[in-house]
Amino acid sequence: MKNLFVDKKFDNKKLSVFLLSVFPKLSINTVFKTLRKKDIKINNVRINKDVTIHTGDNILLYISDNLLEPSFNLNIVFEDKNILVIDKPNNIEVTGEYSLTYEVHKIYSGALFKPMPCHRLDRNTTGLVLFAKNESALNILLDKFKNHEIEKHYLALVYGIPSVKANKLIAYLFKDSKKSLVYISDFPKTGYSQIVTSYSVIASYEDNSSLLDVQIETGKTHQIRAHLAHIGFPIIGDGKYGNFEVNKLFGAKTQKLHSCVLKFNFSSESGFLDYLNGAEFKSFCTFS
């Protein structure tokens, strides 16, 4: 039995949306089967329909753990005594309950310091995530990310063929936490933060799609997805900022965005992690 409380971002959402968000590997069929069996309580009342939930609602869920918890083998790209680089699969958060970090902590359950992520990817963005295996390494690496001394590249399959083959884009982003959306403006506005997104076209295809190499100097929520959509090149498969008809045309159910390169370009003191300077880790993706 799982005891859950509804966060404000799920206020006035369907129960199924909440459960599938909390438990990425839970199938919708299992949700409805559980409802038919009345194995879900909301505020201590058994229900049998996919009802609307509200902030603070208490949900008791009677589903076996093997149906709830994600189960996969971690794809470890590199590991030493200080860092861990993992190739994250689709449909799992980096942090939170039943997340990539949760899986890592299960493996390192006996460690004095459980590895912690130094940055995040969206649930449906795949690719490289860097973990620190001790507190000192974590502090150094967080500082390196902040000072742009770790270079990150993403592969993005977008709809459209940019006429400008390489560009550095500057815009402004506003995060609406209630709607779990961000908005982009070409001009400064109150409450908006500046973002910098660069891209270069790797290849263009006859189906009017292009493969981009994307870098971000600012790591804001949904930055790449929203910024590329804003300039008219939505990521194929993106259900939030993309184009529904395009996604349907390509048969894409999740965004074609992949963290493909992490490169350490230390220009300031890096202490005992100096040996990593110049190191580069890669992950390949075909967006099949």
Coil, strand or helix at 9: helix
Return the residue matching tokens 């000192």.
Answer: 136
CA 155, 160, 166, 169 dihedral sign is negative
Separation of CA 70 from chain center: 16
Nearest alpha carbon to residue 50 among 68, 72, 32: 32
- Helices and strands: H and E segment counts in the chain: 7, 17
The residues carrying an active-site annotation are 122
Q: Cite the DSSP H helix spans in the chain.
A: 15-22, 28-36, 65-68, 100-107, 135-146, 223-230, 244-250
Q: Cite the DSSP H helix spans in 25-134.
A: 28-36, 65-68, 100-107
